[in-house]
Structure 1
């Protein structure tokens, strides 16, 4: 049977979707997309579009099950999470129609209104708004659903490569990266902003550390290579437990370094420095070094990097830090620059 024969087109109202989200028969599957992503501008523009009666892209839902007792079908949102979540948030009073984001002259009547403040006719227009809906029958395989999601979003700039990987690879490598992202270190030091967390920047950063553990410092961090590693360790990852313990040990040591001073805390919030020194910590742990013995020199490294403060460092140390700064200011994802930064830190710490 052709895939197209497993998809039918229906028109469903906002009310139909909201009722099913509320009663649990329409669910958001985070294996496609981790969290809600849109900002207030995109949210306001969508509600404005609905109020003006213009069309919006169709929604894809997958019939995943039927309750044998009630006969109610259970659907999963394949594509349309942002649109449906935005409508629900607006109806629940979570945001207003900020005038700065309304784009049509005729929208001035909605300025700064919440859903409860709209005229009754406008409320009805939202509840009755017809979503063109593609309903995928439950006969379609999950792998085909994922392929469909990726194809639908392959040219959508709103989804970044890591979000697309989240849909395509749901195996062991992603699972470990996600587990490590739950470690308190990241939140304690606000390494990632709320937006970066929604866009899965933390998962991508942790994935790069995992690549180092599996492939070494010469391993690439390009998007293409990340996809390759996700695929390679998707179903079989023998080093899973060891890598998890290693990274937690690395984060515990970095936590101590962050607490040395306000300077080190601010310095290592920058991902380039954090990545570089986490790798250094790995080498130090492998050698059985007492990393606390190097805290003072790391603090001096940060202070000289930031302010060129003369703390009694040798001329060679100062030169090394200046070189590191050059490699950290641009092209930070370049393999050659990454390798150079690691080499320079090793030289400075004499490890």
Structure 2
């Protein structure tokens, strides 16, 4: 990997929020996970900012030739937490909301979206607290020019430290293969969060999974997914992409024309370009045709889902 051109800046939360509202932040679903932080994790970050504690840097990569928008390489959960707190998606640990009137762009967005602006002085941060929060600067590192391969390499290295991705998230992260692509697409179709590979950060809540014990206003209810309704997976398992791992197992068995060994090692080999199984399953899928495989898989899956629904309501 050639030496990258990096630019380090400190940007205030208010400046970052303006960029967010202008749809300058994008998420690449080929390697980024969904929104997965718990309420407690979000509140701890907000508390750190309110106490003026340092927080980890955010890593961005310029998109396109004009460089007016950015892919979020590292810091997705933190950025979304900050922006959603401003928009009153959750409160502080002591039960108070940010006063959106202190950031005109936030108040304007709330009005346009038909959201209520909390003006109860007893349940919102005071003006000084809001000003301190808005002026807090986050350390930002911008990758000025980088290939997709470089960005994926960076992402993988970052996630080898600290809080690790789940096994399946690591397998899928940035791997541009026919097998990984079909698994990602089928998993999204089954969950109900199919989208383009690159989506604005503002749209991430719509395609993220809401758990039973979470209070986030996300678009996909874990309890309503096929996997949870049929008792195949616990709702919390979707946070770690175990549904995608299940799809990967099924796809591999279909392509193999018999069950594969159900183990972490066996699945890892299918995702590892250096292994014979990688080439074997890529060849099988390309021979079948990705579009044809996706169509046939979803046709069979829809029949299974319909049968399960009829059994549950007693109409079979």
Shift of 1:256: 5.0
Shift of 1:248: 2.9
TM, length-normalised to structure 2: 0.68
Name which of 273, 283, 286 aligns with 1:237.
286
Relative to structure 2, which stretch is displaced further, 245-254 or 16-25?
A: 245-254
Shift of 1:11: 1.6
Shift of 1:262: 4.1
TM, length-normalised to structure 1: 0.62
Distance verdict in 2 for CA 1:222–1:35, change over 3 Å: same
Shift of 1:158: 4.7
The reply on whether 1:130 has 2:168 as its aligned counterpart is: no
Task: For residues 215-244 of structure 1, give each alpha carbon's deviation from its aligned partner in whole angstroms, at most 9, with x where no partner exists.
Answer: 354523433432332342569722234533
Task: For residues 106-126 of structure 1, give each alpha carbon's deviation from its aligned partner in whole angstroms, at most 9, with x where no partner exists.
Answer: xxxxx1111121111211122
The one of the two structures with greater contact order (alpha-carbon pairs below 8 A, sep at least 6) is 2
RMSD over aligned Cα atoms: 3.0
1:202 maps to 243
Distance verdict in 2 for CA 1:16–1:95, change over 3 Å: same
Task: For residues 140-167 of structure 1, give each alpha carbon's deviation from its aligned partner in whole angstroms, at most 9, with x where no partner exists.
Answer: 2110111111110113335212222332
1:44 maps to 43
The reply on whether 1:94 has 2:101 as its aligned counterpart is: no
The reply on whether 1:112 has 2:151 as its aligned counterpart is: no
The reply on whether 1:222 has 2:263 as its aligned counterpart is: yes
Distance verdict in 2 for CA 1:184–1:55, change over 3 Å: closer
Task: For residues 288-311 of structure 1, give each alpha carbon's deviation from its aligned partner in whole angstroms, at most 9, with x where no partner exists.
Answer: xxxxxxx9xxxxxxxxxxxxxxxx
The reply on whether 1:73 has 2:68 as its aligned counterpart is: yes
Number of aligned residue pairs: give it. Answer: 247
Give ranges in structure 1 of 5+ residues lacking alignment: 99-110, 265-294, 296-351
Shift of 1:78: 0.6
Question: Residues 60 and 79 of structure 1 are in contact (CA less than 8 Å); yes or no, is this contact kept in structure 2?
Answer: yes
More helix by share: 1
Give ranges in structure 2 of 5+ residues lacking alignment: 100-123, 193-223
Residues of 2 paired with 1:115 and 1:153: CA distance? 31
2:297 maps to 247
